[in-house]
Amino acid sequence: MIVTRFAPSPNGPLHLGHAYAAIIAHDLARQAGGALKLRIEDIDGPRSRAEFVEDILADIAWLGLGHDGEPVFQSTRLAAYEAAVARLKAIGVLYPCTCTRARIAGMATRSGPDGPIYPGTCKGRDIDPVGAAWRLDVAKAMAITGPLSWHDALAGEQTCAPQIFGDIVLVRKDLPASYHLAATLDDATDAITLVTRGRDLFAASHIHRLLQALLELPVPRWHHHALLIEASGEKLAKRRGSPSLADRRRAGEDGRALADALRGNRFPAGISLSDV
Ligand code: GLU
């Protein structure tokens, strides 16, 4: 059975790009007689807000997208993230790091999908882990797992290449997990078989595949879809003036008609699908 998920972060209002992502997750599940799960990625404490959660649930219903089961909140799963971190520490693939963002920007000589690549400064150093972040020693992790691959429905078979990120943070200073760790664990817990999300997160799947191998989790398939973009070529975002779904809903727009228009690739003026 196909099980997909829509996993928004409640740190701002949803916009048309989120609606498009939710429709793809919903329709790929429904067309296959499968299930759609809704996961609220709310571990980013200060940025996550209850009113955005309320709007997300109302927006999804307004678009006519039913989901299966109750929504899952990442904030209720911190103990599971901590247990996985303990396991990764026991395998010896995490190391504490106290470098600041500014320091890394000053030291880095290469850039990866998320910005400057961490040059491994704290690796092998005797660092007080209290209040430190924990990074994944990607080379050591890959030496343990050996070569890996993963499958994207649109881009085909991929050779797993997490090294393009460098040693990423898996445990933030202020959080018991990072997006990568929490999302990977949740996809396994929720028995997701097809991870659908925008192509902006394509590279993240290299990390997730590595974590699945290290933690002996089931391996889903992926479907990274094109993104909705503004005429300028930028991703849609509320701060650039695209109306939010909640704005449209409150203005009395028909959500199901909007969902059908997006399904038919009929977008409001100035908005189109990225071709990369
Ligand atoms: N929470 C992420 C976002 O809103 C999506 C994560 C995912 O689909 O894996 O961008």
DSSP state of 165: G
In a domain, 205, yes or no: no
Tell me the two tokens of residue 40.
């609220």
Cross-strand pairs, 273: 228
Q: Residue 224 corresponds to which amino acid?
A: H
Q: State residue 238's pLDDT score.
A: 57
Say if residue 88 is in the same domain as residue 162. Answer: yes
CA-based torsion, 67, 68, 69, 72: positive or negative = negative
Cross-strand pairs, 152: 156, 222
Say if residue 37 is in the same domain as residue 94. Answer: no
Say if residue 23 is in the same domain as residue 85. Answer: no
Q: How far is the CA of 13 from the centre of ligand 1 (A)?
A: 14
Q: State residue 5's pLDDT score.
A: 98
For residues 180-203, b (16+ Cβ closer than 10 Å) or e, as one string?
bbbbbbbbbebebbbbbbbeebbb
Q: State residue 137's pLDDT score.
A: 98
Q: State residue 203's pLDDT score.
A: 98
In a domain, 56, yes or no: yes
Say if residue 13 is in the same domain as residue 85. Answer: no
Instruction: Give the max Cα distance, the chain.
Output: 59
CB 6 within 8 A of CB 26: yes
Ligand 1 atom closest to 198 (CA)? 8
Tell me the two tokens of residue 64.
């006519």
Residue 46 maps to which CATH number?
3.40.50.620
Domain with 140 in it: 79-171
Say if residue 108 is in the same domain as residue 136. Answer: yes
- For ligand 1, whether the C-beta of 160 sits within 6 Å is no
Which of 56, 179, 194, 211 gets mutated to test ligand 1 (max ligand atoms within 8 A of its CB)? 179
| Distance between CA atoms of residues 52 and 56, nearest Å | 6
Ligand 1 atom closest to 21 (CA)? 8
In a domain, 118, yes or no: yes
Q: How far is the CA of 127 from the centre of ligand 1 (A)?
A: 32
Interacting residues of 212 by C-beta distance below 8 A, sequence separation 6+: 184, 188, 218, 219
CB 229 within 8 A of CB 271: yes
pTM: 0.96
Say if residue 46 is in the same domain as residue 99. Answer: no
CB 78 within 8 A of CB 86: no
pLDDT in tens, the chain (276 residues): 999 999 999 999 999 999 999 999 999 999 999 999 999 999 987 889 999 999 999 999 999 999 999 999 999 999 999 999 999 999 999 999 999 988 898 898 899 998 999 999 999 999 999 989 999 999 999 999 999 999 999 999 999 999 999 999 999 998 889 999 999 999 999 999 999 999 999 999 999 999 999 999 999 999 999 999 988 888 876 556 678 999 999 999 999 999 999 999 999 988 999 987
Interacting residues of 81 by C-beta distance below 8 A, sequence separation 6+: 176, 177, 181, 182, 185
Q: How far is the CA of 224 from the centre of ligand 1 (A)?
A: 12
Q: State residue 228's pLDDT score.
A: 93
Q: How far is the CA of 7 from the centre of ligand 1 (A)?
A: 5
CB 19 within 8 A of CB 59: yes
DSSP state of 233: S
| Best CA proximity match to 161, nearest among 105, 119, 210 | 210
3-state secondary structure of 196: strand
Say if residue 99 is in the same domain as residue 166. Answer: yes
Q: State residue 240's pLDDT score.
A: 64
Q: State residue 275's pLDDT score.
A: 80
Counted domains in the chain: 2
Give the E-state strand segments of 160-227 in sequence order.
169-171, 194-198, 221-225
